[in-house]
């Protein structure tokens, strides 16, 4: 099924529970709930998903079992959710699968907002602009001066073409008027490894990935591309503080449910997730790896998702980004 970007955006504008059918239902949940995490086990998304599943299990009084199904920047796993028949299957939707890929994939397998309904924003992950310590740059101002003095000389690593770490850096380039060469990797881990090795000199990656290397001194943090400073890096200024407020590129994960699932089921999932997100244990666990607990209504998530689609579509068009 092929959808246009206009169709994708229109779907996101629609009420988040389009497609729900009013039919008599057995008590929900009547069996264990599967939470699809569309990324490999052990990464930040997996950590966020497992703590959420634990908290939701207590509220739902049913097991919430995490199942990792990676591929296509999260689209593969979320397609499983979109094609499920009820909310016993939900998924941890990423910014890529929930907003970015609508403007990059010529054939999205599901219609965001229709086949895949937004339920609640779970967590935001701040991103940090860093340079290899061997570059000898200590401040954001020094980096901009160096990049403008030597355009095209330096490279930046991303977690993959079209992902948020790629687009965030393209947004940074556009706003600062700098020229840096892109080197895409298959994930944040190999990008970080080459950053430490000085194969690439610059990166704008998720805080949880960079934190150990910031603490070791291998990379130098210059700015946080978020509205607020990172609690784990209180001395690092935001892009807004440095004069670039539009370079705001929080990564995020939210719960998505089948659009065909009854409204009552999706509401129950929302309520269980909202309750879990208030747990001090979960809040502390997320904070320990740089995650900021979110929350809110399904309607608010739909509005936010629409804004993300439009924001990243503009960056993709301006930078002429195409999937490899």
Q: Please report, for the domain that includes residue 105, its CATH number.
A: 3.40.190.150
Q: What values do phi and psi take at 33, rounded to 5?
A: -100, 135
261-283 confidence digits (pLDDT tens)? 999 999 999 999 999 999 999 99
- Which structural domain range is residue 159 located in? 127-224
DSSP notation for 256-305: EEETTS-HHHHHHHHHHHHHHTT-HHHHHHHHHTTEEEEE--HHHHHHHH
3-state per-residue secondary structure call for 13-73: HCCCCCCCCCCCCCCCCCCCEEEEECCCCCCHHHHHHHHHHHHHHHHHCCCEEEEECCCHH
Relative to beta strand 116-125, strand 202-206 is unpaired
CATH of the domain at 201: 3.40.190.10
State the average pLDDT over residues 32-54.
91
Q: What is the pTM of this model?
A: 0.83
Residue 98 is classified by DSSP as I
Q: Does residue 48 register a pLDDT over 70?
A: yes
309-320 confidence digits (pLDDT tens)? 999 999 999 999
Q: Judge whether 263 lies within some domain.
A: yes
114-145 confidence digits (pLDDT tens)? 899 999 999 999 999 999 999 999 999 999 99
Q: Judge whether 72 lies within some domain.
A: yes
Distance, CA of 264 to CA of 249 (rounded, Å)? 33
State the average pLDDT over residues 292-317.
94
pLDDT confidence band for 324 (50 / 70 / 90): low
Q: Judge whether 229 lies within some domain.
A: no
More confident residue, 324 or 1: 324
206-220 confidence digits (pLDDT tens)? 998 899 999 999 999
Residues 111 and 254 in one domain: yes
72-118 confidence digits (pLDDT tens)? 888 999 999 999 999 999 999 999 899 999 899 988 899 888 899 99
Number of domains in the chain: 2
Residue 126: CB atoms within 10 A of its CB come to: 25
pLDDT confidence band for 290 (50 / 70 / 90): confident
Relative to beta strand 251-258, strand 89-94 is antiparallel
Q: Judge whether 274 lies within some domain.
A: yes
pLDDT confidence band for 34 (50 / 70 / 90): very high
221-258 confidence digits (pLDDT tens)? 999 999 999 999 999 999 999 999 999 999 999 999 99
Q: In what order do the strands lie in the sheet with 219-224?
A: 181-184, 155-158, 202-206, 127-132, 219-224
Closest CA to 259 of 9, 34, 16, 97: 16
State the average pLDDT over residues 23-42.
85
Distance, CA of 324 to CA of 89 (rounded, Å)? 31
Task: State residue 13's pLDDT score.
Answer: 44
Query: Position of tokens 């089948």?
Result: 258
Task: State residue 106's pLDDT score.
Answer: 84
List Cα–Cα distances, 241 to 233, 235, 315, in angstroms. Answer: 15, 12, 22
Q: Judge whether 237 lies within some domain.
A: no
Q: Judge whether 82 lies within some domain.
A: yes
Residues 120 and 176 in one domain: no
More confident residue, 24 or 277: 277
Q: Judge whether 244 lies within some domain.
A: no
């Amino acid at each position: 099924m092929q959808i246009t970007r206009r169709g994708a955006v229109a779907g996101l504008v629609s009420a988040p529970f389009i497609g729900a059918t009013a039919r008599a239902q057995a008590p929900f949940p009547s069996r264990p709930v599967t939470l699809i995490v569309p990324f490999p086990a052990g990464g930040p998304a997996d950590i966020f998903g497992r703590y959420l599943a634990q908290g939701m299990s207590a509220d739902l009084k049913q097991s919430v079992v995490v199942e990792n199904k990676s591929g296509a920047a999260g689209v593969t796993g979320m397609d499983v959710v979109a094609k499920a028949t009820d909310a016993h299957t939900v998924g941890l939707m990423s910014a890529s699968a929930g907003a970015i890929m609508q403007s990059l994939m010529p054939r999205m397998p599901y219609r965001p907002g229709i086949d895949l309904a937004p339920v609640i924003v779970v967590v935001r992950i701040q991103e940090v602009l860093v340079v290899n310590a061997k570059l000898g740059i200590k401040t954001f101002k020094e980096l901009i001066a160096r990049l403008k003095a030597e355009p095209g000389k330096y490279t930046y690593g991303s977690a993959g073409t079209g992902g948020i770490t790629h687009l965030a850096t393209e947004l940074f380039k556009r706003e600062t008027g700098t020229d840096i060469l892109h080197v895409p990797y298959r994930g944040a881990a190999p990008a970080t490894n080459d950053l430490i090795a000085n194969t690439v000199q610059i990166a704008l990656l998720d805080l949880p990935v960079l934190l150990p290397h910031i603490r070791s001194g291998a990379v130098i943090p210059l700015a946080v591309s978020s509205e607020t400073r990172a609690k784990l890096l209180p001395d690092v200024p935001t892009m807004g503080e440095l004069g670039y407020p539009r370079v705001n590129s929080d990564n995020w994960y939210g719960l998505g449910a089948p659009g065909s699932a009854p409204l009552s089921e999706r509401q129950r999932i929302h309520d269980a997730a909202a309750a879990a997100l208030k747990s001090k244990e979960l809040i502390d666990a997320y904070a320990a790896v740089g995650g900021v607990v979110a929350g809110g209504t399904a309607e608010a998530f739909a509005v936010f998702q629409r804004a993300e689609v439009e924001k990243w579509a503009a960056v993709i068009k301006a930078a002429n980004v195409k999937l490899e």
